[in-house]
Chains A and B, each alone.
Chain A
């Protein structure tokens, strides 16, 4: 995997960690997550499905918002898969957003997914640039939709991607007092192309759907 994405990751994480102390968050929420995931790569025969766990943290100060999620995934080949063995993956997602309207914000962030064993699947690192729309469904409930373009993705197996996108659907519901239920859907599509042996580019797309189901304590 290309290690060049380390600097942006560090910058975003530094901002995320340093932000509450700097500005005094209006709210901060942390909590655990359970994850459902479906992963496909190169062809319809290479399919994995699995689950995992992780944690999420979100915060807001005025028009500035931030979120980060780290999940550990265990993926196994599906029945229709030609893959012989599964693998584990760790995925980090982070966003920093700025409200441009009461219902819309622009955001930047990162995505970093590493596979274990390293070459069982493609590891991915990219920057995110996109927008998010958030609406109140009612007291204590918000729904959001986001579209992020993944900029300059890097892969552990090399190659490039002319088009990479990440769509998301989020829901935050206050269950009781400070306890919130947080669910999030992410669809990731990366049009990866490789040129093995210089014989010409071939398509090696990556597609993942992921659902995070979690609880959060809001401070």
Chain B
């Protein structure tokens, strides 16, 4: 393929995007380099592009200048220099992608070689998805341009401070497909919130990282409320007032009678009948007390049956609440998780 035909292909490749990009280019030298390239004047485009690189350029314009230089070198068959220019370009814009159907094979080849010579994490993609926690995963895709140790983490989360979840740590090269099961070590789903998935590649002293934010939301969980009572079962009073009886007076009679019988039975015949004054006083007091206590409302006494019933009811409620707690844990762990792009905040309408 001749240089002229190659230049024509390059022109086709970059013409449409260049037209749009030329309008956005602020730097005059870069704009002239772009125009020179569009006019197939590659040497002039090359010299103007290099001149633009010596000027103060914003990041995007610097990347664009390297692109013009790279394409110009490729058109002029200086492949190694084209590779160098493309390396600088992808370091500035790692996501830059060339369409092999629309650029010259030389330029695409140089671009492909450049990609293999720098460590990049490109095309990090996390698809929106929805699944039940524990039964699905978040797909994470990216490309690593060189064999490297790649550590993938998810950082952030809801309340309780930032969390750091290790998704994967392996040696990768090329296209990588990972899946992250967003669960805590205890099986619970990760808290709802915004997470940043960070992919960090390391090769010797070279490191490169890419990140993307995602938002994890929880579906509604219908947990069961704890019980404070069982339907149809009520706590019973643990004391009861016994019915009024003649028992106090009867006891007073019994004890006083015992003392009287004992006194009469043990009196010495030789000493004559003893005085009953003392027994009359004390026995009378006992009988009066017994009569008064008979008339009074008896003191409440523990209702053993009710106490036992309440204890059984309490144990039954506690046992049921333990089951409910286990059920709720399972329900919370099986919450519906939805993963999508983060909410845009503060954007003008």
Contact = CB atoms under 8 A, between A and B. Distances in A.
Interface of A: 36-38, 40-41, 43-44, 47, 49, 133, 135, 137-139, 141, 143-145, 147, 165, 167-171, 173, 181, 183-185, 187, 189, 191, 203, 205, 207, 209-211, 213
Contact of B293 (A49, A141, A144, A147): A141
Given A135-B251, A189-B266, A203-B270, A49 B275 contact: yes
B243 interface: no
B286 interface: yes
Contacts of A135: 251, 255
A145 B254 CA distance: 10
A187 B277 contact: no
Contact of B278 (A133, A141, A210): A210
Contacts of A181: 285
25 contacts: A38-B274, A38-B275, A38-B278, A40-B268, A40-B271, A41-B271, A135-B251, A137-B251, A137-B252, A137-B293, A138-B292, A138-B293, A141-B248, A143-B255, A143-B286, A145-B258, A165-B266, A169-B256, A181-B285, A183-B281, A185-B282, A187-B279, A209-B276, A209-B279, A210-B278
Contacts of B161: none
Contacts of A173: 289
Given A135-B251, A135-B255, A185 B278 contact: yes
Contact of B274 (A36, A147, A207): A207
A95 B337 CA distance: 80
Contacts of B255: 133, 135, 143-145, 169
A78 B255 CA distance: 29
B253 to A, nearest CB: 10
A213 B281 contact: yes
A139 B286 contact: no
A207 to B, nearest CB: 5
B267 interface: yes
Given A40-B272, A44-B272, A169-B259, A187 B282 contact: no
B263 to A, nearest CB: 5
Which of B262, B266, B271, B290 gathers the greatest number of chain A CB atoms within 10 Å? Answer: B271
Question: Would you call the interface of chain A mostly helix, strand, loop, or mixed?
Answer: strand
Contact of A43 (B256, B271, B282, B283): B271
Which of A44, A49, A141 gathers the greatest number of chain B CB atoms within 10 Å? Answer: A141
Nearest to A181: B285
Given A43-B270, A139-B299, A167-B266, A184 B282 contact: yes
B296 interface: yes
B24 to A, nearest CB: 94
A137 B287 CA distance: 10
Contact of A137 (B248, B258, B282): B248
A193 B298 CA distance: 50
Contacts of B276: 209
Nearest to A134: B255
Contact of A38 (B277, B282, B290): B277
Contacts of B268: 40, 189, 191, 205, 207
A182 B248 CA distance: 17
A36 B285 CA distance: 14
A37 B274 CA distance: 11
Contacts of B282: 169-171, 183-185, 211, 213
A143 B255 CA distance: 7
B289 A209 contact: no
Contacts of A191: 268
Contact of B283 (A40, A144, A169): A169
